[in-house]
Amino acid sequence: MSTQAPHSATPAPAEAHLGRRRLGVPAVVFMIIAASAPLTVVAGGVTSNFAVSGLVGIPLSFVVLGAVLILFVVGYSAMSHHIHNAGAFYAYVARGLGKPVGVGAAWVAIVSYNAMQIGIYGLFGFALSSFIAAMTGAELAWWLCALMGWVVVGLFGINKVDLSAKVLGVLVALEFVVVAVYDVVALRVAPEGVSGAALEPQALFVGGVGAALAFSIAAFMGFESGAIYNEEVKDPRRTAGRATFIAVIVISVFYAFSAWAMSVGTGPTQIVAASREMGPDLMFVFLSEHAATVFSDFAQLMFITSLLAALIAFHQVVARYFFSLGREGVLPSYLAGISRRTQAPAAGSLTQSALALVLLAVFAIAGTGHEYGPLFPVLTLFTWLTNMGAFGLVLLLAMTSLAVVGYFRRHRDLYSLWTRAIAPTVSAALLVAVFALIVINFDVLIGLEGDSILSWLLPALVLIPGAAGTVWAWMLRSRRPDLYAGIGRGGELE
């Protein structure tokens, strides 16, 4: 595999383009949903939310947040018709709120997406290690299992994006089948009867609602990645917007229904206690008791492939951010290197793989002999980094909504007042409220009790690069005005 990287300090967009016309709406929908990891969310995220918040109304939280994100997508989709850039958040914020803020947002995005992707390796390594031990009796270290996934993810990263889309499509379809079977069995068992208790407002909007919403918003992360593929889709003006609308609706309805089915299958009065006792195993123990053992084993295998699908999807996102920022000279230009054979962002992919390898090594060493034992990668690498990533991404969602308003203020004739102002303004306000809830409940989200350095250090690791990126952009404005002028415009097709 060879790469082609521009040699000048300011890469020319014409010399660095990703593969054109490869992806249609279904492919992008699968890429988005794969990042969301449906089976992982239902088995792990929903049970954790029941356990931590102590609320039965978790299903309703997905309905509420789905409505908020639909408002976000109204403006986001309209913006995607006019700005086609592999660094979506970066380009949108740069064009709507100014180039310095855009570069700051880009650096926040780089840190946040890397944190989400690398953090998932912790749960993947643990889950694969546990599955191998249960099936064969062989004891493999979590980090060795994580490295197996790392190799697979890296290979997908340097290959054609439509290969990833096809594989992820199959995996996502199988995830939906597993969860759908669980839902049907849960509704059939229903020890307390089929009840709508978990969907009643009073089951959610009480003390603990902040933690519940903060947990639930993390389940949607990745839904916004559609526009990142806008340089590679068949119809840049429509594909990303349509795919994102479809994905948000599917994700919110699917999660709400499955969380409700889980409450019914265990019993609304028992679901919180059961989630605290068994955690992610609740779903698999339930299937082993009420369905064929072989299906329970298959569900656990699909849980692992769900994590692998999310790793691949987030890796593709990070690689494209590196590519976009390298192409415009905001980061070193070698990051704009692409494969001549596959037209994949090879340099960005290899860079992301290298970062993941370094952090895996750090956590592997830190976990040796740790008191957490086998759960070390779950309670540290996975919990810390994925919540750190969600923190940054929700902030970026709010900034992007404001950027939509800023951009269309200069293009008033393009859309209705609802699309260019009302919907994005309301979504920005609601997303800021959700962001505030994450800040307030961050210690709870990362499993800490009382004050800890991590409760402010992890958010700081997201915010400080954002401030540094803004300062860097101001420096470029005075030192490299030619480069500064191209910020947020690479890859535009209009």
Sketch out the chain's domains with CATH numbers: 10-151+162-331+358-484 (1.20.1740.10)
- pLDDT above 70 for 100: yes
Give me the DSSP letters along 432-489: HHHHHHHHHTHHHHTT--S--THHHHHHHHHHHHHHHHHHHHHHHHHH-HHHHHTTT-
CA 75 → CA 392, 432, 488, 490, distances in Å? 20, 16, 18, 21
How much is the pLDDT for 86?
A: 63
Residue 10 has pLDDT above 50, yes or no: no
How do residues 43-63 score in pLDDT, each as one tens digit? Answer: 888 998 898 889 999 999 999
pLDDT in tens, 409-453: 988 888 899 999 999 999 999 999 999 999 988 888 888 776 789
pLDDT, one tens digit per residue, over 271-280 is: 999 999 988 8
Where does 265-420 show beta strands of DSSP type E?
338-339
Span 69-84, pLDDT tens digits: 999 999 988 888 888 7
Task: Tell me the average pLDDT of the chain.
Answer: 87
Residues 214 and 204: their CA atoms lie apart, in Å, by: 13
Residue 17 reports pLDDT greater than 50: yes
- When pLDDT is cut at 50, 70 and 90, the band that residue 7 belongs to is very low
**Does residue 282 contact residue 274 with C-beta atoms inside 8 Å?**
yes
Give the pLDDT band (50/70/90) at residue 4. Answer: very low
pLDDT at 20: 56
pLDDT digits (tens, 9 = 90+) for 452-471: 898 899 999 999 999 999 99
User: What share of the chain has pLDDT > 70, as a percent?
Assistant: 94
Report whether pLDDT(9) > 60: no
What is the model's pLDDT at position 358? 98
Q: What is the pLDDT of residue 83?
A: 80
- List the Cα angle 188/191/193 in 5-degree steps: 70
